[in-house]
Structure 1
Amino acid sequence: MAEFDRERALAAAGVDSDEVERVAELVADADRVAVLTGTGIEGGADAGDAAAPDSILNLLLASGNVGRPGTGWFVLRGLVNEQGATDAGCVPDRLPGHRAVTDETARARVADEWGFEPPSSPGRDARELLAAFGDEIRGALVVGEDPATSKRTTEWLDDRLGGLDVLVVLEVAESDTTPYADVVFPAATGAEKDGTVTNLERRVQRLRATGSPPGEARSDFAILAELGRRLADDERQFDYDHPGEAFDELTRVAPTHAGVSYDELGAEGRQWPFGGESVLYREAFDTDDGRAPFRRPRPIVASERGDGLRLVTGGRASDFLDDRAANDPVVRIHPADADEQGLNPEAPVVVRAAERDDEAAERTALELAVQVDDGVRRGTVYMHAAVADPLLRRDVETVVVESQSSLGG
């Protein structure tokens, strides 16, 4: 920290020095501090060299806000059972139990159970997989996802999904992806199948079917098990009669889930690690020496305005299948940026991609109302994701906001 340039960091982040001091005092004086963030900040293909995760963890460690009730970092995941899927290793760089695919001990444990060696190098994430459809990837099995809703142009999606030799989809109802499928397996809903779901506090709870699925629909577990038996060299690798058997297998390959069986989850579920401390890292961290490493602060990214304003989008979980957001076409902008652009809050504006020579981007220009808001960071504009959809589908990151009257409208 000796070389840390505080003033430059404040300028790059666009935050007020007094506010930083106030937050620092609150953290220092508080008995317990917890950080809640959305998904994405913790890393991934789009994170680049972002220092936010390391900085958050450094702050929590230095202030003693790890390993005690009411402390730590909570990532508010966006999808049902996203925590459980991650626990089970449904991510490209992890084995069950959050072990790295390069972890030799974890690899050996999985190989002993499964009868073959798992890959030793990370796979591709969802965006990378979709980008390779129709090229390096010729066939795909889609379960619990709707890749056709990706924020890309229709032409791009047609090339990707339409370019596959075979596409098989497991789905409860018609989706944007099912028209591209060669085969659609009708899947049961959550109320029509047994299994488990894991919430944010790592509590594993049982799902119990309250009815039978209609027609030829079956649970995704039953469909995948049948596919596995038909495709695997040894059909015994998928010889499951019930999801409980797969959960018990998970307890043998994931140290996080050791010490409990499917039948022992009970009516209220159980929190992993089972039979252990409910608060993680109270005594030690999951490292070779039991200590948590502090990360070196990364170089400050220069604050360069360049052409246009950075597009920031957002939304709420309650917006799903709700058209109200799309019927509120507003762009929010900082007062200083509005003044620079000569915008009148009472008059409509046009928002378009900063790359004015891009003919395709011109077709995505949006006519919106403008709202001046000092809560918006200088150099950015904020729009609801539903409103910004035409821009997002063309990977637009910076936009220009112009008065409609200045364009002759």
Structure 2
Amino acid sequence: MTNSFADYLNTDLYFVIGSNPTEAHPMAGAKIMSSLLKGTKLIVADPRRIELAEKADIWLQLRPGTDIPLLNGLMHIIIKEDLHDKKFIDERTEGFEDLKAAVAKWTPEKTSEVTGVPVNLLYDAARLYAGTPKAMLCYTLGITEHICGVDNVMSTANIAMLTGHLGKEGCGVNPQRGQNNVQGACDMGALPGDYPGYQKVVNPEVQSKFEKAWGVKLSPKAGLTIPDMMDAAVEGKLKAMYVFGEDPVMTDPDANHIKKAFEAMDFVVVQEIFMSQTAKYADVILPGATFAEKDGTFTNSERRVQRVRKAIEPIADTKPDWKILCEVSNRMGYPMQYTHPTQIFNEIASLTPSYGGINYERIDVTGLQWPCPTLDHPGTPILHTQSFSRGKGLFKAIDHTPPAEMPDEDYPYLLSTGRILYHYNVTTRYSSALDTHRPEEAAMVHPADARVLGIVTGDTVQVTSRRGSIQTKVNVTDKVQSGMIWMSFHYHESPTNELTVNAFDPVSKTGEYKVAAVKIEKAATA
């Protein structure tokens, strides 16, 4: 996030695109709902009529996979009507003429034809977003989980720069992270090309710094992404894997391909707190401790580094993850003699400039937002107030990339996936209370499609893609578009990701969870 959660209560307008925060990010969603009660305006772009869409001043019900055409069309109107922030563009950006040329063809009429959004709503949204001094754009996986996810993100930056809604209170581009420490994991180098703090593996100076600190020779090559690892395993080129706090059999696209990868490997280690679907493929399971059984830090969506304190001792034979990793490392011949997470964090701060001024004492009560380079630095609530990381912000000329797979005669329905409020990813199914409340999938199907299929709410259908076939109960509702079925991925009894397409953004390697082609049939009665 460029801004802070505190700014959610200081903005005049939300533009929420590809995000369902009241269900998938309920803390952020609660702040948005509170702000709306004070009169904050709201634009929502989403194929489904989510809760926020029902409260929106403008709901742009676009077709799945048409985010770039929508944003290009809005920017076309903003430029055409002379609503862009010329001072910000002149002083803070470059590449405007390239952007202007790229969006010129996205007339309101063409944009409406591609996205399905009425022309009058395009004008209303463009004028409202550009004309509101403090406007905040929020997105999540509905933007990133496409084969053009990186381009989608760049398009959100384009429209924010075009209108000058960056580097200011109540503005910014604010992605809400999907899990509680996704930001922290990325910060700590859980990316194949990065050391902690996004310091690049291929940079010789960075390599030398970490070699000196860790006392070993390090590879100058970036590692494999998860999709590349799975492909390599199926091809017999990757023989072993250590899975730490992930359940790729449930959460990665084209799950049958993932299962083949685990079956093909010679050795699999899974470090987990539950017997997950992935753990069933493990040769060794290392029982980790939950968040309540260990000390450490989490870094949240607003880049805030916060203390996590142990409430109880680890139960049974479990151990905190850092202790397990240290013991494995010691047995492999590289000594790690840490006695408390404080020592680990101090090492992180010494090697990671953006964390350099953070320690446990400073975040004992309230966390700090990076970048926080020195001990007297207050942290950074708002990014890009004076300049961007590259100096001037660069507009990118981006055109529409259609989804990898669209409905056709054989697979006539569009499947899109996401999360529901009642379950958190794939972990809360282990809670008997939550599972009793929502024990099974209830796929959303439009009434017009339900009539054709001869189904009603509560019926079971067979959903089939080119990659797999599963059964699920349905909820007939006009919250989804005709021709579309929407499912969550929380249920191993209805493993939705056996259906999703094995296609990825070429840069981020994020899977295209939001669009796949399926056929739907009423399941035979028992």
- Distance apart, 1:117 and its partner CA: 5.3
CA contact 1:314–1:384 (8 Å) conserved in 2: yes
Question: What amino acid sits opposite 1:264 in the alignment?
Answer: R
Find the counterpart in structure 2 of residue 178 from structure 1: 279
Find the counterpart in structure 1 of residue 415 from structure 2: 311
CA 1:16/1:379 → structure 2, altered by over 3 Å: closer, same or farther? farther
User: What are the within-5 Å matches in structure 2 for residues 253-268 of structure 1?
Assistant: 253-268=351-366
1:166-199 per-position Cα deviation (integer Å, ceiling 9, x unaligned): 2222222333233332222222222221111111
CA contact 2:464–2:499 (8 Å) conserved in 1: no
Equivalents in 1 of 2:131, 2:316: separation in Å?
Answer: 61
CA contact 1:67–1:279 (8 Å) conserved in 2: yes
- Distance apart, 1:38 and its partner CA: 1.9
**Higher relative contact order structure (alpha carbons within 8 Å, sequence separation ≥ 6):** 2
Runs of 5+ unmatched residues, structure 2: 1-99, 502-515
CA 1:326/1:311 → structure 2, altered by over 3 Å: closer, same or farther? farther
* Counterpart among 484, 492, 497 of residue 380 in structure 1: 484
Alignment of 1:64 onto 2:169: no
User: What are the within-5 Å matches in structure 2 for residues 39-58 of structure 1?
Assistant: 39=141, 41-42=143-144, 46-48=146-148, 51-58=151-158
Equivalents in 2 of 1:139, 1:304: separation in Å?
Answer: 35
Equivalents in 2 of 1:214, 1:49: separation in Å?
Answer: 41
Alignment of 1:227 onto 2:328: yes
Find the counterpart in structure 1 of residue 381 from structure 2: 278
- Distance apart, 1:209 and its partner CA: 1.8
- Distance apart, 1:52 and its partner CA: 1.5
- So what's the TM-score if we normalise by structure 2? 0.65
SS in structure 2 at match of 1:130: helix
Deviates more, 1:323-332 or 1:221-230: 323-332
CA 1:158/1:17 → structure 2, altered by over 3 Å: closer, same or farther? closer
User: What are the within-5 Å matches in structure 2 for residues 358-397 of structure 1?
Assistant: 361=468, 364=470, 368=474, 370-371=476-477, 373=478, 376-377=480-481, 379-385=483-489, 389-390=494-495, 392-395=497-500, 397=516
CA 1:367/1:194 → structure 2, altered by over 3 Å: closer, same or farther? closer
CA contact 2:489–2:496 (8 Å) conserved in 1: no
- Distance apart, 1:85 and its partner CA: 0.7
Higher Cα radius of gyration = 1
Find the counterpart in structure 1 of residue 136 from structure 2: 34
User: What are the within-5 Å matches in structure 2 for residues 120-135 of structure 1?
Assistant: 120-133=220-233, 135=236
User: What are the within-5 Å matches in structure 2 for residues 2-401 of structure 1?
Assistant: 2=101, 3-6=104-107, 7-39=109-141, 41-42=143-144, 46-48=146-148, 51-116=151-216, 118-133=218-233, 135-150=236-251, 156=257, 158-232=259-333, 234-235=334-335, 238-274=336-372, 275=377, 276-287=379-390, 290-299=391-400, 301=402, 306-307=408-409, 308-319=412-423, 320-321=428-429, 322-323=434-435, 327=440, 329-333=442-446, 338=449, 342=452, 352-353=463-464, 361=468, 364=470, 368=474, 370-371=476-477, 373=478, 376-377=480-481, 379-385=483-489, 389-390=494-495, 392-395=497-500, 397-401=516-520
CA contact 2:305–2:363 (8 Å) conserved in 1: yes
CA contact 2:250–2:497 (8 Å) conserved in 1: no
The size of the alignment, in residue pairs, is: 390
CA 1:8/1:354 → structure 2, altered by over 3 Å: closer, same or farther? farther
Equivalents in 2 of 1:171, 1:282: separation in Å?
Answer: 41
- Distance apart, 1:200 and its partner CA: 1.6
Question: What amino acid sits opposite 2:320 in the alignment?
Answer: S
1:185-233 per-position Cα deviation (integer Å, ceiling 9, x unaligned): 222222221111111221111222233223432211011112112224x
SS in structure 1 at match of 2:265: coil
Deviates more, 1:321-330 or 1:191-200: 321-330
Equivalents in 2 of 1:182, 1:395: separation in Å?
Answer: 27
> Pairwise CA RMSD of aligned residues?
3.5
CA contact 1:188–1:218 (8 Å) conserved in 2: yes
Equivalents in 2 of 1:305, 1:183: separation in Å?
Answer: 41
1:224-276 per-position Cα deviation (integer Å, ceiling 9, x unaligned): 112112224x53xx232221122112112222111233333222222222214
Identity %: 26
1:283-325 per-position Cα deviation (integer Å, ceiling 9, x unaligned): 11111xx111111122464997643122112222432424555
CA 1:59/1:186 → structure 2, altered by over 3 Å: closer, same or farther? same
Runs of 5+ unmatched residues, structure 1: none
SS in structure 1 at match of 2:393: coil
